[in-house]
Amino acid sequence: AQSVTQLGSHVSVSEGALVLLRCNYSSSVPPYLFWYVQYPNQGLQLLLKYTSAATLVKGINGFEAEFKKSETSFHLTKPSAHMSDAAEYFCAVTLRGSARQLTFGSGTQLTVLP
């Protein structure tokens, strides 16, 4: 079984500041990890994914995440927040090899202050 914990249901940053959204996972076997973004009343858009290649993964819109096995973490970062980054962000895990259902965290709402 696998699970995901996203610390902080709401995060506020100033425009231009560092964005750090936390995700810790639990998995009995090596996982695949994903970050998705959801804008209001829209579906989920894939930001980036970790599938056992490089541990530092770069995604769209300047986001990146680092897989740290020792810390069971996959935190999402962006050096400089933009107003358009305001959205809800979901971390998700699935089991490598079976890769069926995604298990999602409860989400983090990011607010960007002017």
Residue ranges that bind another protein, judged by CB under 8 A: 32, 34, 36, 41-46, 49, 51, 90, 97-107
* 76 CB burial (10 A radius; 0-12, 13-18, 19+): buried
Query: Could you tell me if 38 and 87 are in contact, meaning their C-beta atoms sit under 8 angstroms apart?
Result: yes
Q: Smallest gap, in angstroms, from Cβ of residue 23 to another protein?
A: 12
Judged by beta carbon, residue 17 or residue 44, the one nearer another protein is 44
Q: Smallest gap, in angstroms, from Cβ of residue 90 to another protein?
A: 6
Judged by beta carbon, residue 13 or residue 33, the one nearer another protein is 33
Q: Smallest gap, in angstroms, from Cβ of residue 114 to another protein?
A: 26
Pick from 47, 43, 89: nearest CA to 65:
47
Judged by beta carbon, residue 17 or residue 38, the one nearer another protein is 38
Task: Give the CA distances from residue 32 to residues 2, 4, 42, 89, 91, in Å, rounded to whole numbers and listed in that order.
Answer: 11, 12, 24, 17, 11
Judged by beta carbon, residue 86 or residue 102, the one nearer another protein is 102
CA distance 35 to 44: 10
Q: Smallest gap, in angstroms, from Cβ of residue 8 to another protein?
A: 14
